[in-house]
A and B are shown apart, each in its own frame.
Chain A
């Protein structure tokens, strides 16, 4: 029998960006909140020895321990899914702050087009433009409705940026000015302007200057140290839940964090949750935490997995297209980029920051005409400088051997003479891309792993080829001596790192028939359960997800407060 604790107002499963934002907003309003986090505690002091590429970038110091839990993957239902045994395609966060500790900090707002993607595509191109098995749908919310929450997230995090001329309207400018411009970023800017494209500085959660946010949290400016993504920031310059929202929640005295607490089930009677069951992983003890409201903030995979394990909500069935939990899993198309080699210029390539870059959206969303193209949506095109660490960065022109004398000579020559322009492509959902429970493989507790069924489609291949060409043209204009365009997208491969931008599984929408949560991220099938994360995205845009996910978290917090006040029912 599990030990039963006294009931609290709200229990949160996982304390990353989602969990931290919900906790700070609810505790400020006086609710009692318990946050259960499976990993360990984190603080800035932990990063004293953080400039260690091997430990953090290649041995994944801060990421989920796959020996305990991983995902399984197959390209289609006729293939046997197998576990991702070591890290590859994406890197899962764990511990206080979750992946928000070791993210880059690229902080975008999805486009107005994204939230009404089906209507707007049909309006401009007709129904026929959408392939029969592409399951895009509107999100049940508009950009204008979400705008105040974007602003809230950006102010909390102190995002450094400048107006993007091709995006949705902003109510206020960014709270801090853009980051410093490296020479190659100026080259990108000039080249793009010559082509009549619209470059702007990448919105960054690495602070361009010291900043105090509306919660009274002060943080120092970024030092461009070059150890950002996959690392924690020793200065607290990078916005991360541990140095922003979590301390605000803790200061209220209403937030109790329990680390090393792995949630195993959501407990429910009928269609209302009564709390959660978790295991204290240090002792193995099983504990029941009753609560009036349960908030899942355990990332895309565990949000979906916990619902399926707990038999809450209607599981998605790809054969009928019915059911919603596990539906519309999507990812990101990262392959459409280009590399430029510069024979007579050396750049200070070792320096950089996680979100230092310059970007344009002329080929993102529906900002360009798709009439004669065999895909919808597009990609943001950017040049970023994260600090090229030496183990993982060994650029050589095509045709160079991958080892030996010639490799050594070329990699030393080109290390500081290579620039890349990349495209971050949108990923559309398809009927046969989904998440469910694996029938064979289990986690360390004996619970089934989540299973991904996903592959790239013709849509993705067309998109990658198209955006790679644009990247190549830009590098040409930037004066590269030699340009290599990498637009050929193979099958989805779990091995090489692409991005930790997994989306879907518990998507939001206007109707319980086609979505799992409403536009406050409240579950249609269990009114006191809220599911926060990129799991709510109906598709993935040509941007990193966290800006939009953060905005939705603020919106959800407001919904929970309304629900708490009204004492029941769906929030409208």
Chain B
């Protein structure tokens, strides 16, 4: 085991960036690179608010509210994410990790509007090697894709997607994945790819985005999240497990 990991376990205290910089004796001099390190060392530590004697009440997760989806859309996405990354003997799935909330929040912002993508016309169908050439934004693609998942479920099973048994849901997803479902406005397989990719983002991104609840996604993978240093781990032969740290820990730790 390494020093840092031990510190983590023994005190059950995350190693804050400030303490790390103090203790490691990192010398950062010269003209510029004081940077983060310099300003942190100079900053006095703000005392953590304490409430002696009080048992903390379980706090509500204020993040779990919809920014973009309708409740109906959310149900479809939540169910689909869970099939893509299901709960099993290894641990929680996408649903428990909040992946659908993550996707909802992402669609509400820049990413949903493709604001950093080139969206000027003219629009032509290209070759596969030329990448996405549609005029629709991600949020519009999700709107259509979700609707089509319900339509397809309805026409094959007379049910909405989220009312189907898990195995039937898998059939629908496979039909999208392989373009067996023929859509005119979007590509079913491209929508599926986006859904799969954003599910994994919701499972494994920092919890500040609304998924990876309690860092449980990272725990599944033995991923330590945001750590200050791995200098002492890097040469070790044995696998070193550490309790993960989030960016919230980093800012407030």
* Residues of B close to A243: CB separation below 8 A: 32-33, 35
Chain A, 343-372, CB within 8 A of any chain B CB: 346-348, 350-352, 356
Instruction: Report if A202 contacts B (CB, 8 A).
Output: no
Q: When chains A and B are docked, how far (Å) is the Cα of A54 from the Cα of B205?
A: 6
The distance from the CB of B228 to the nearest CB of chain A, in whole angstroms, is 7
* Residues of A close to B122: CB separation below 8 A: 440
* Residues of A close to B170: CB separation below 8 A: 404
A220 close to B116 (CB less than 8 A):
no
Instruction: Report if A93 contacts B (CB, 8 A).
Output: no
B115 close to A234 (CB less than 8 A):
no
Q: When chains A and B are docked, how far (Å) is the Cα of A163 from the Cα of B249?
A: 42
B118 close to A180 (CB less than 8 A):
no
B231 close to A224 (CB less than 8 A):
yes
The distance from the CB of A505 to the nearest CB of chain B, in whole angstroms, is 20
* Residues of B close to A348: CB separation below 8 A: 230, 233-234, 236, 239-240
Given known A-B contacts A182-B234, A494-B131, A49 and B247 have beta carbons under 8 A apart? yes
* Residues of A close to B31: CB separation below 8 A: 216-217, 247-248, 251
* Residues of B close to A412: CB separation below 8 A: 90, 220-221
* Residues of A close to B220: CB separation below 8 A: 412
Instruction: Report if A281 contacts B (CB, 8 A).
Output: no
Instruction: Report if B175 contacts A (CB, 8 A).
Output: no
Q: DSSP class of A's interface residues: helix, strand, loop or mixed?
A: loop
Q: When chains A and B are docked, how far (Å) is the Cα of A247 from the Cα of B35?
A: 13
Instruction: Report if A402 contacts B (CB, 8 A).
Output: yes
Nearest chain A residue, comparing its CB with the CB of B246:
A51
B196 close to A83 (CB less than 8 A):
no
Of residues B31, B32, B224, B239, which shows the largest number of chain A Cβ atoms within 10 Å of its Cβ? B32
* Residues of A close to B226: CB separation below 8 A: 51
* Residues of B close to A442: CB separation below 8 A: 120
Instruction: Report if A79 contacts B (CB, 8 A).
Output: yes
Of residues A251, A391, A442, A494, which shows the largest number of chain B Cβ atoms within 10 Å of its Cβ? A391
A218 close to B33 (CB less than 8 A):
yes
Instruction: Report if B60 contacts A (CB, 8 A).
Output: no
A67 close to B204 (CB less than 8 A):
no
Given known A-B contacts A346-B239, A390-B204, A44 and B33 have beta carbons under 8 A apart? yes
B119 close to A224 (CB less than 8 A):
no
Q: What 1/0 flags go to A223-260 for Cβ under 8 Å of B?
A: 11110000000111000001100011001000000000
Instruction: Report if B56 contacts A (CB, 8 A).
Output: no
B28 close to A235 (CB less than 8 A):
yes
* Residues of B close to A503: CB separation below 8 A: none
The distance from the CB of B69 to the nearest CB of chain A, in whole angstroms, is 19
Of the 9-residue stretches B79-87, B141-149, B152-160, which lies at the interface with chain A?
B79-87
Q: When chains A and B are docked, how far (Å) is the Cα of A225 from the Cα of B230?
A: 6
* Residues of A close to B201: CB separation below 8 A: 54, 58, 391
Instruction: Report if A7 contacts B (CB, 8 A).
Output: no
* Residues of B close to A407: CB separation below 8 A: 85
Q: What 1/0 flags go to A377-413 for Cβ under 8 Å of B?
A: 0000000000100110010000000111101110010
Instruction: Report if A106 contacts B (CB, 8 A).
Output: no
A351 close to B234 (CB less than 8 A):
yes
Instruction: Report if A210 contacts B (CB, 8 A).
Output: yes
Q: What 1/0 flags go to A96-126 for Cβ under 8 Å of B?
A: 0000000000000000000000000000000
The distance from the CB of A501 to the nearest CB of chain B, in whole angstroms, is 18
Given known A-B contacts A223-B229, A347-B239, A65 and B116 have beta carbons under 8 A apart? yes
Instruction: Report if B46 contacts A (CB, 8 A).
Output: no
Given known A-B contacts A85-B133, A494-B131, A394 and B27 have beta carbons under 8 A apart? no
* Residues of A close to B204: CB separation below 8 A: 53, 390-391
Q: When chains A and B are docked, how far (Å) is the Cα of A53 from the Cα of B205?
A: 7
The distance from the CB of A141 to the nearest CB of chain B, in whole angstroms, is 32
B115 close to A67 (CB less than 8 A):
yes
* Residues of B close to A242: CB separation below 8 A: 32
B116 close to A217 (CB less than 8 A):
no
Instruction: Report if B12 contacts A (CB, 8 A).
Output: no
Instruction: Report if B13 contacts A (CB, 8 A).
Output: no
Nearest chain B residue, comparing its CB with the CB of A51:
B226
Instruction: Report if B127 contacts A (CB, 8 A).
Output: yes
Q: When chains A and B are docked, how far (Å) is the Cα of A74 from the Cα of B127?
A: 9
Instruction: Report if B164 contacts A (CB, 8 A).
Output: no
Q: Which of B32, B127, B217, B230 contacts A217 (CB 8 A)?
A: B32
Q: What 1/0 flags go to B175-211 for Cβ under 8 Å of A?
A: 0010000000000000000001001110011101100
Q: Interface size on B (CB < 8 Å)?
A: 75
B236 close to A390 (CB less than 8 A):
no
Q: What 1/0 flags go to B211-223 for Cβ under 8 Å of A?
A: 0000001101111
Given known A-B contacts A183-B235, A183-B237, A403-B196, A495 and B32 have beta carbons under 8 A apart? no
The distance from the CB of A532 to the nearest CB of chain B, in whole angstroms, is 23
The distance from the CB of A41 to the nearest CB of chain B, in whole angstroms, is 12
A391 close to B200 (CB less than 8 A):
yes
B36 close to A45 (CB less than 8 A):
yes
Chain A, 55-97, CB within 8 A of any chain B CB: 58-60, 65-67, 69-70, 73-75, 79-80, 82-86, 88
Chain A, 401-431, CB within 8 A of any chain B CB: 402-405, 407-409, 412, 415-416
Instruction: Report if A285 contacts B (CB, 8 A).
Output: no
B30 close to A66 (CB less than 8 A):
no
The distance from the CB of B192 to the nearest CB of chain A, in whole angstroms, is 9
Chain A, 193-238, CB within 8 A of any chain B CB: 210, 212, 216-221, 223-226, 234-236
A48 close to B36 (CB less than 8 A):
yes
Given known A-B contacts A52-B247, A73-B130, A403-B84, A441 and B30 have beta carbons under 8 A apart? no
* Residues of A close to B199: CB separation below 8 A: 403
The distance from the CB of B153 to the nearest CB of chain A, in whole angstroms, is 18
* Residues of B close to A494: CB separation below 8 A: 129-131
A66 close to B129 (CB less than 8 A):
no
A80 close to B83 (CB less than 8 A):
no
Instruction: Report if A311 contacts B (CB, 8 A).
Output: no
Of residues B33, B115, B196, B229, which shows the largest number of chain A Cβ atoms within 10 Å of its Cβ? B33
Give me 25 A-to-B residue pairs in the complex whose CB atoms sit less than 8 angstroms apart, sorted by A's number: A44-B32, A51-B206, A51-B250, A66-B116, A67-B118, A82-B126, A85-B114, A86-B132, A180-B234, A223-B228, A223-B229, A225-B229, A235-B36, A236-B32, A242-B32, A248-B31, A348-B239, A348-B240, A350-B230, A351-B230, A402-B196, A403-B84, A408-B90, A415-B223, A441-B120
* A-B residue pairs, 10 tightest by C-beta: A44-B35, A236-B33, A351-B230, A218-B30, A223-B229, A346-B239, A390-B204, A51-B226, A54-B205, A493-B129
Query: Which chain A residues have a beta carbon within 8 Å of chain B's beta carbons?
Result: 43-45, 47-49, 51-54, 58-60, 65-67, 69-70, 73-75, 79-80, 82-86, 88, 180-183, 210, 212, 216-221, 223-226, 234-236, 242-243, 247-248, 251, 346-348, 350-352, 356, 387, 390-391, 394, 402-405, 407-409, 412, 415-416, 440-442, 491-495
